[in-house]
Amino acid sequence: MQQRLRLHNWFFAVAVALATTRAQGIPSTGWRLDPESAVQITVPANIRTSVGAELEYDDTVQIKGIAADLNGDGRIDYLLQSAPSLCGNSGCIYVLVDGARGRRIGDFFGSPLIIRPARSHGYPLIATYSHTSFGSGEIVNFRFNGTKYVLAFTHRFAGRALDQLIGELSRVPPWRPDTLPRE
C-alpha cells in the first residue's frame, strides 16, 4: 500500500510538472539527460580546472553535458556529466555550474537526470533515477534554494511500481542540443 502511495505521489508530481507552462525552453514534459543524450561541449577554462579532474576528464578529452541558460539570466550554465569511467549501473555523476558566477551549485548522481519545468529560485527542479538493486530503484528530487541544489525528497520503488516508473521515465524526451538557448 505504501509503495502504491509513493507511486501515486510521483505520478502526481509528474502531472503537476506536465501542467506547468513552458519556461526557458524546457518542454512541458521536462527532458532527460543520460549518457546517450549528453554531448561534447566547450567548457570555460576556470570551470574545467575546478571540476574536470573530479569528473575524470584529462586535458585531452572534451567534457560531455549541457551548455545552456537554465535560469534565464542570459548566461550559459554548465551541467557536466562525469567521464564514462565514473558511470555504472546506477548512473553517472553530474555537476551543475552557474555560468554567471562560475560557481558549482549542484551535485547529482543517477541516470537519467530529469530537468523538470517547475522552478525554484529561477532554476528548474531536478530529479535523478538510480537503480539500487535487482528489483528496486529510487527517484531523488532536488530544488535550488537560492544558493545551491538541496535534497527535496526521495522515493523508492520496487516490483510493478518500479516497472511503471521506468515506463514513465522512458517517455520523458531526451535533451537535444537545440532544446535550450546555448553557447
Q: Is the pTM of this model over 0.75?
A: yes
Residue 35, phi-psi category: left (phi > 0), alpha (psi -120 to 50), beta (remainder): alpha
CB atoms within 10 A of CB 168: 14
Mean pLDDT score, 132-137: 89
Structural domain spans, the chain: 2-170
Helix, strand, coil content of the chain in percent (nearest 5): 20, 40, 40
Q: Could you tell me the CA-to-CA distances from 102 to 42, 60, 85 in Å, in that order? A: 14, 22, 25
Render pLDDT for 62-103 as a digit per residue (tens, 0 to 9).
999 999 999 999 999 999 999 888 888 788 999 999 999 999
Render pLDDT for 6-28 as a digit per residue (tens, 0 to 9).
544 544 444 334 333 233 455 56
Q: Rg of the Cα trace of the chain?
A: 16
